[in-house]
Amino acid sequence: MMRNPLRWTGCWMPSAGSLGLLGMMTALWPVSAVAQAAAPTEGFGDGPKLVIALIALAWVILAGLKTFSASMRTKGVRLFNWNKVNAVLMVFFLVVFMLFVLWQFLKLMKFTLPISASAHGVELDGMLSVTFWITIAVFILTQVLLFSFALAYRQKEGRKALFYADNHQLEFYWTVVPAIVLTVLVLYGTKVWREITQVQPAKDALKFELFAYQFGWQARYPGADGELGGHDFRLISATNSMGIEETDSAGRDDLLVSEITLPVNRPVLMKLRARDVIHSAYMPHFRVQMNVVPGMPTQFYFTPTVTTKQMQEITGNYNFVYELACNKICGAAHFNMRMKVNVVTDQEYTSWLSKQRYYFRRPEPAQDLLSAR
């Protein structure tokens, strides 16, 4: 007959479950400390630390109980019905998880974009809202069913699992209904995108060009003629960084600017070129994004509707500025591709334009061109 391994020299030794519980409880402090150190806290306070610490604590306790229960079963003692415990914990996790999602949603709302600063952005925001709320509804429905089924169909004494080969009617519904919903969303999105990109620019639209390169932007505005000069990549040099054709009369009065300034409520046609790799012109507050591809000029047409000063009042941030950024990871200094964007009144725009310099060296000042308009 074998000696009880839990006894040694007549002294009682703790069970494996007790040792496991003790060891894991001892490990709780460093685990929670590491979790707190790693948790992102900006905008959340101590919330993430508390949640991670509670998860770590629950895991330690359950793991210890599981080990202790397994050791007791070797003695014929059944402490817990783990099938029922796991099923109840699934529902508990569902409730806690949904509350956490709601808390996270409310907490992160302040980091979302404010109202659209362009005319087309209003409809684009509407499309995204419809997609978002449909997705949320489907997410809640599927998660509730998933975790509830774990409770309803848990293993029980005397219950025999049913082999359920298929149900054509059920498969039809869960295939066709999502397909219809997704088709409607895709067609709606295609309609909105076509209305944004296929509209013909107004005759009085302000034209300006953005030229992307590793790692920065250059911008030029037309002179008194309102037209941008031609370009050729073979003309790019140290003194002609955008490759503008100097022999083109339309480009002789083009203006080189250090930041983008746009008049409010005036249509804008933004023409885009790239010198080296694919970039992406991204102005999130205007809901504007367009790839900038070498050898393939692109453009985006929009109308700014909110001045910088108005957006500062709306956001309550008087240091707010609009920004152009590259939204394609284009190399090591991708982060540096940013340019300030100002939206101003017509009078402020005229004043700003008069102070800009010509792309090509010319004797007369830029304000002479303004008077010629």
Q: Is residue 285 part of a domain?
A: yes
pLDDT at 7: 35
- Give pTM, 2 decimals: 0.69
- Of 106, 292, 150, nearest to 216 (Cα)? 292
Given CA atoms 308, 313, 315, 318 in this order, what sign does their dihedral have?
Answer: positive
Q: Residue 17 falls within a domain, yes or no?
A: no
What CATH number is associated with residue 362? 2.60.40.420
Q: Please state the domain count of the chain.
A: 1
Q: Which tokens belong to 14?
A: 């703790």
Measuring CA to CA, how many Å separate 65 from each of 14, 57, 203, 309, 331? 14, 12, 76, 61, 52
Domain with 220 in it: 206-371
234 lies in some domain:
yes
308, 348 in Cβ contact below 8 A? Answer: no
Whether 12 is covered by a domain: the verdict is no
| HSE-CB of 189 using CA atoms within 13 angstroms | 11
Q: pLDDT tens for the chain, 373 residues: list them.
A: 444 333 333 333 343 344 343 444 444 444 444 444 444 445 555 666 777 787 788 778 777 777 766 776 676 666 667 778 788 888 888 898 889 888 888 888 888 889 999 999 999 999 989 998 998 999 899 999 988 888 888 877 777 877 778 888 889 998 999 999 999 999 988 988 888 888 888 888 999 999 999 999 999 999 888 888 888 888 888 888 888 888 888 878 889 898 999 999 999 999 999 999 999 999 999 999 999 999 898 999 999 999 999 999 999 999 999 999 999 999 999 999 999 999 999 999 999 998 888 888 654 545 444 444 4
Rounded CA gap, 203 and 226, in Å? 10
58 and 93 Cβ atoms separated by less than 8 Å: no
DSSP string, 300-339: EEE-B-S-HHHHHHHHT-TT--EEEEE-S--STTGGG-EE
Phi and psi angles of residue 295, each rounded to the nearest 5 degrees, phi first: 80, 0
Beta partners for residue 318, in sequence order = none
Nearest Cα neighbor of 324 from 289, 294, 353 is 289
The answer to whether residue 147 sits within a structural domain is no
Residue 336 lies in a domain: yes
CB contact set of 261 (below 8 Å; sequence gap of 6+) = 341, 342, 343, 344, 349, 352, 353
Cβ(147)–Cβ(91) below 8 Å: yes
In a domain, 179, yes or no: no
Q: What is the pLDDT of residue 224?
A: 82
Backbone angles phi, psi at 165, to 5 degrees: -65, -55
Nearest to 217 by CA among 116, 118, 333: 333
Looking at residue 48, its pLDDT comes to 67
Burial (CB < 10 A; 0-12, 13-18, 19+), residue 151, is middle
Residue 161 lies in a domain: no
